[in-house]
Chain A
Amino acid sequence: MGTAMTRDTLAQILDQALQDVTERTAGVRLNQGEHILGDDLCTVHITFDQGFDTSLTLCADTSLLARMARNSFHEEAVTPEDVEEFSKEYLNVLCGKVTGAIYRATQSDVHFGAPVFYHGRYEPEGQEAQFVLTYTDEHSEGAQLIHHQVPSGEGKADGTDRREQIR
């Protein structure tokens, strides 16, 4: 992630953050394991800045995100807009947890931009996937958290007010 951190350490931070945030915000227990994502997918993507030229992509079965949104918002039914709102806020909280853990491990002050939501699978153009963590749950729905390397310069602030960019 542009820090002195090893890939294994970063993967461990991401895994712990994802499991903790998912259970606490949505009451869903995700475990790493084999899972083939279905055809109905959503993706949320977030880019880190301040020289940490990386991004995180969460690609998940829409049914999983919808169930997490229903649990989190205490709604019996959710709209596609609710799923989008939940997914972006969820990735925000997840990235907050990740940057906090990176800070504690390396004293590096890492910031990230606003999450972007896509229907279907989105793969950031020109970014190389460093590793993929695959998750599944008791309903056999799943998600992938993908860590990408951003070509140098693309991950940095674009000149807009940073207070509106970082979360």
Chain B
Amino acid sequence: MSKRIMAVDDSRLVRVQLEDTLKGTDYEIVAYCRSGEDAIEQYPVVRPDLVTMDIIMQGMDGLDAAETILKNDPDARIVMVSSLAYDGTFERAKAIGARGFVDKPFHQEQLLKVFGEALS
């Protein structure tokens, strides 16, 4: 059975890339959110196995949204997907309980490895 992914990103380019990358894998994108606020609202409705979360979006950023989702559901599996590959960002993502970090633009191998670790 496919693992259900909720993708949170305001970029059409990244959404298409994510779809392409996950085609033919055991992961299925079941919901898209374009903002942190939308992700917080949609998460309890969608109940995904995994959330991919961009960091910089209009309005609430992905780190704040991930923190809120994890406060409401400490078992949520969230992987940050961002080009902000700095130590400070990694540390904050880890501190709030994100299960992984994927650098944009991503490779399939890298994405699947981090997803696998996040779900293990």
Interface residues of chain A, those whose CB is within 8 Å of chain B, are 20-21, 24-25, 72-74, 85-86, 89-90, 92-93, 95-97, 99-100, 103, 109, 163-164, 166-167
Contact = CB atoms under 8 A, between A and B. Distances in A.
Contacts of A92: 11, 83
B64 to A, nearest CB: 9
Interface in B80-101: 82-86, 88
Nearest to A86: B13
A72 to B, nearest CB: 6
B103 interface: yes
Interface residues of B, number: 19
Interface of B: 11-14, 16-17, 56, 58, 61, 82-86, 88, 103-105, 107
Contact of B16 (A72, A99, A103, A166): A72
B12 A89 contact: yes
Contact of B104 (A73, A74, A96): A96
A100 B83 contact: yes
Contact of B88 (A97, A99, A109): A109
Given A25-B105, A93-B104, A164-B58, A100 B13 contact: no
